[in-house]
Structure 1
Amino acid sequence: MTSASPHGHRLVAQHLELGDDQPFDLSLPATGLTLVQTRRESRSTTLALTLAGRMRVKGGTVTLHDAAGTTVADTPRRRARRVALAGVPEIDGLERLVPVRTVVREQLAWTGSWFARTPRDMGDTDFSAWAGLLGLTVEPGDKVGDLPPAQRLRLRIVLALLARPRAGLLLIDDIDQLRSLADRRDLLRDLRQVAQRLPVTVFSSNPDLDGLADTVVDLTGPTPEQPGRETGAHHAHVKEGE
């Protein structure tokens, strides 16, 4: 297991309601790589948006806690400032004909102070550090649409981290958008490196086949639509890695 980052946040959801699903509890640790397995992609997107503060909670509560256990965010607006979110096209979709340099500089300009000069050299920013951890290998002049899917998703993750320099948690929705099992495995391995600095949670409708996650949260369990299983509020099944 990785050691807890002093800036890592633990997320706790209680009696959370998503659509017509029954309420459930969920806890994401303040360290390491967590994989949340859901029954379908649309549910994972709704969950990611809700936890990240980009969508209001239908029912229940979602809070962020620092390493000391102090609540640092208990409203969607406050969570949105402390949670970096990637993988949701409606949030981080990129124009295919735009160069990488342009999207990075635009993000840095949007995030920085209005009076700060945006560096032309991406090497003078946090971009290089996050790109190195994630295995993002792009040239500034590369068109976004020319990047392989795995590199394009990595770019979106780096941009999400640049957008939230004070983030205490990184959420990545639908890693299954990488159709190649090898690409998904490689991304999870690289995210383990990111998780040394910041807790990372990924959402997938597939299990952790290669055992790369430190923690697995299984949300594919009991639902009201499955006769014979218990109903009412339930806890997500959590499996800790070695």
Structure 2
Amino acid sequence: MKTPRTSPSKMHAILQTRELILANEEEIPNLDIPPGLTLIHCNPLLDAATLAMTLGGRLASKSGEILVRSGHKRASSKKIIQQSVALAGVPEVDSLEPRVPIRSLVREQVVWTSRWWQQVPKKLSQIERFQRAAELMDFQLSDESAKTTTVAALNPLEAFKLRIVLALVARPEATLLVVNDIDSVRNVHLRRELLQHLRSLSDRTAVAVLSTNALDREICHSYIDLDGHAPELPPATPQPAIGARAEQQVDEGRELRRQARPSFQKPLLDYRTTRPPRARGTGEFQKPKPQIVPPPRQHTPPPFPPNTDGPRA
């Protein structure tokens, strides 16, 4: 199995994969994700969400090994991988309800990742984890705006920033942030601005971005190409012009109808010479007359009491 092109040294890799086969039986070449911002160029046919969840320890692989750097050691424990890798941009993990206020989303995320006895403040300015993550991603929102602003009111860039902030809130001690579906920000300028924020974030936490667009590779520190290892489509056959295609379809239809004809011909019979014409009025083809059947004879019971003239002899 070939290793994709990557420039940094493997000794300082934050996350490594060896002979990884995903749950959907897709083979992934050996990855060595270094510190900084890394762009992983994926083929559109590759299920990037499955790859992201597998790298984050949320989905078990069919075979292979995932190693994360924990201190000065390499660990492959599922619990350590989940604590060390934060996921963003995966609908199965961080999908946002458009009509829910932002304050409710943030407090819910903090509640799920806190101890059961810890109280969560109502104001976002009093939640230290959120303020630290929002500052790293330049996500500015006041307490009054967070109380009434919903996700649907945010533009695509701010909505994606919110997903990254929630991922950092859920994993405050993460050493790697895996970002998927960055291509959902279709505006080129907004996507480049998002990558610039991720580049600034990568000074504190390593970031790996899964994308089908390789044009933004100059913004990133390193680049890994998985496009050549994705399944390829069969070569497309050249299609004739519209007029020629119509004539070809007509010729094919004629050929099919010719092949569908039986190989024998129905014999032509001349009934005028084989037998004389049928004569009408002879009764040969007349409907038979119905037979008159008398009704069944009814049995009349004897009168009661019976008529007797005396004792029988």
Secondary structure at 1:13 match in 2 = strand
Q: Percent identity?
A: 37
Structure number with greater CO (CA < 8 Å, separation at least 6) is: 1
Counterparts of 1:149 and 1:23 in 2: how far apart (Å)?
30
- Kindly state the Cα deviation for residue 109 of structure 1 after the two structures are TM-superposed: 1.2
- Residue 76 of structure 1 and its aligned partner are, at CA, apart by 3.2
Counterpart contact for 1:41–1:204, Cα < 8 Å: no
Assess, with a 3 A threshold, how the Cα gap between structure 1 residues 225 and 126 changes in structure 2: closer, same or farther: same
Q: Secondary structure at the match of 1:140?
A: helix
Q: How does 1:164-203 map to 2 (within 5 A)?
A: 164-203=171-210
Mapping 1:201-212, distance limit 5 Å: 201-209=208-216, 211-212=218-219
> What is the CA distance between 1:182 and its match in structure 2?
0.9
Matched residue, 2:160: 153
Contact 1:22 1:224 in 2 (8 A): no
The superposition leaves residues 77-101 of structure 1 with CA deviations (integer Å, 9 ceiling, x where unpaired) of: 4311221101011110111111111
Which structure has greater strand proportion?
1
Query: Structure 1 stretches (4+) deviating beyond 6 angstroms?
Result: none
Query: How many angstroms apart in 2 are the aligned matches of 1:9 and 1:111?
Result: 27
Aligned-partner residue type, residue 135 of structure 1? D
1:140-194 per-residue CA deviation (whole Å, 9 max, x = no partner) reads: 1211111111111110110011111221111111100111111110000001111
Q: Determine if contact 1:173/1:202 at 8 Å carries over to the other structure.
A: yes
The reply on whether 1:71 has 2:93 as its aligned counterpart is no
Corresponding letter in the other structure for 1:45: A
User: Under a length normalisation based on structure 2, what TM-score does the superposition of the two structures give?
Assistant: 0.65
Distance 1:148 1:225, change over 3 A: closer
- Counterpart contact for 2:217–2:223, Cα < 8 Å: no
Give the superposed CA RMSD: 2.1
Contact 1:41-1:174 within 8 A present in 2 as well: no
Q: Which of 14-23 and 39-48 deviates more?
A: 14-23
1:133 is aligned, of 125, 136, 143, to 136
Matched with 2:97 is 95
1-structure distance, mates of 2:222, 2:187: 22
Q: Which has the larger radius of gyration?
A: 2
Asked if structure 2 preserves the Cα contact closer than 8 Å seen for 1:36 and 1:201, the reply is yes
The counterpart of 2:39, out of the listed 35, 41, 45, is 35
1:123 Cα deviation (Å)?
1.7
Shifted more, 168-177 versus 9-18: the winner is 9-18
Query: For the residues of structure 1 that align with 2:206 and 2:217, how far apart are their CA atoms?
Result: 19
Q: How many residues align?
A: 217
Match for residue 53 of structure 1 among 52, 57, 61: 57
Q: Return the alpha-carbon distance in structure 1 between the equivalents of residues 184 and 101 of structure 2.
A: 22
Aligned pair partner of 2:29 in 3, 24, 33: 24
Show CA shifts across 1:66-124 (max 9, x none).
352x023x133431122110101111011111111111111111111111110222122
Question: Could you tell me whether the CA contact under 8 Å between 2:183 and 2:212 is conserved in 1?
Answer: yes
Amino acid of the residue matched to residue 117 of structure 1? Answer: Q
